[in-house]
Amino acid sequence: MVDFFRLPDLGEGITEGTIIELNIEEKDTVEEDEDIGKVETDKALVDMSSPYSGTVLKLPVSEGEEVKVGQVIMVVGEEGEEIPEEEMEKEEVEKSEEPAKPKPKDRGEEIKATPRVRKMAEERGIELTDIEGSGPDGRITEDDLEKSEKEEKPARVQLKHDFYGDIEHVEYKGVRKTIGDKMSEAKFDAPHATSMDEADVTELWELREELKEESGSGLSFLPLIVKATIETLKENPLLNSELVEEHEDIIVKKYYNMGIAVATDNGLMVPVIKRAGLKDVFEIYDELVELVENARDRTIDLADLQGSTFSITNYGSIGGTYGVPIINPPNVAVLGTGKIRELPRVVDDEIVPRKVMQLSVSFDHRVIDGAEVAEFMNTLIGYLEDPEKIPLD
């Protein structure tokens, strides 16, 4: 019996991906659940496993090819078995068929689009009357704009030199483009404001050294900051919320899923430590190490990038002091932590060296006011400067 392995539904509304790696060739033997390659979506790199055992009769895709959900990736059967021609012919027809170009709207016909989409169209010089909306009730979406722009954009010759010297081209697509789109959406949809302050973390430094010595682990500061942040969110719950603007609803979360920004070769990813309030600092540290490793080698599960209620970006780990972080939707706030520096500070009327960390909180001003963020910051600083208050378990 001939079996057709098609690109499965990967969830999260993902409809296509790019074949990055194939571990098989035609005439190879595969086993059920065997890893046959990787496909890159606009969110992550996903392993493909064969649901069938047998001989690879046909491999109609190649590395670098874009494929859609439902498209045949591999045909498996018994060695020498013939593939039903009608099935492959049907597959080729479906791949080659281009969707019909939408009929332009009459000038008098109502154009359904959000103010944001209208503004984007105006900035890009796109005429909305020429676009058929794919959203509810024919509403024109951002994806419709992108598709229209690609259809109208002429082929571009990529030069290796400009007027001043050599240049290199780096593709802006896949994960990198998704990050860019998400950050643009966050920055322009949510009116950002940022509050900055500093914390004397001398005692936190000493606590971390004690815990490292006692446990024999490489415990970093971040799990302690996560625990301090959770305690702070309990006292300032509005920062642990989500705005559903179309329903005029602010959803305050009673649990704490902490998104942690991670720099990777493919851009910024935000793995999520689920139910972090129920884990001790060592569990958070171990989970964080695993998530960071998976994010950087692009084996992270899509589920590990979803569900955050608040995010932290630790640019101090790469030497940054201050930053103005961008909110990670659907969160309404993000904490940025700088590197810990030894600086002179006044303690008991004396100038002494202290360990100091700069802090930044960017927030959605539709949901949170500056006074609430000041309270959040003061509470957080209180925990960081008196770490005995931080529950370690």
Higher pLDDT, 139 or 105: 139
Higher pLDDT, 172 or 190: 190
Q: So what's the pLDDT on residue 13?
A: 61
Catalytic pick from 161, 169, 247, 365? 365
Q: So what's the pLDDT on residue 339?
A: 96
- In the numeric block, the tokens 């957080």 are attached to 380
Contacts (Cβ under 8 Å, ≥6 apart) of 150: none
pLDDT digits (tens, 9 = 90+) for 44-74: 778 888 889 999 999 999 888 888 888 899 9
Q: How confident is the model at residue 84 (pLDDT cuts 50, 70, 90)?
A: confident
Cis peptide before 330 (omega within 30 of 0): yes
Residue 169 annotated among the catalytic residues of the structure: no
Q: So what's the pLDDT on residue 88?
A: 64
Tell me if the pTM is above 0.75: no
Contacts (Cβ under 8 Å, ≥6 apart) of 185: 329
Q: How confident is the model at residue 108 (pLDDT cuts 50, 70, 90)?
A: very low
CA distance 169 to 173: 12
For the chain, give the percent of residues with pLDDT over 90: 48
Q: How confident is the model at residue 268 (pLDDT cuts 50, 70, 90)?
A: confident
Q: How confident is the model at residue 100 (pLDDT cuts 50, 70, 90)?
A: very low
pLDDT digits (tens, 9 = 90+) for 212-236: 999 998 999 999 999 999 999 999 9
Q: So what's the pLDDT on residue 302?
A: 84
Q: Is pLDDT above 90 for 282?
A: yes
What average pLDDT does range 284-288 have in this prediction? Answer: 97
pLDDT digits (tens, 9 = 90+) for 301-350: 888 999 999 999 999 998 899 999 999 999 999 999 999 999 999 999 99
Q: Is pLDDT above 70 for 239?
A: yes
Q: Domains plus CATH for the chain?
A: 3-96 (2.40.50.100), 102-162 (4.10.320.10), 185-389 (3.30.559.10)
Q: How confident is the model at residue 14 (pLDDT cuts 50, 70, 90)?
A: confident
Q: Is pLDDT above 50 for 107?
A: no
Q: So what's the pLDDT on residue 367?
A: 95
Mean of pLDDT over the chain? 86
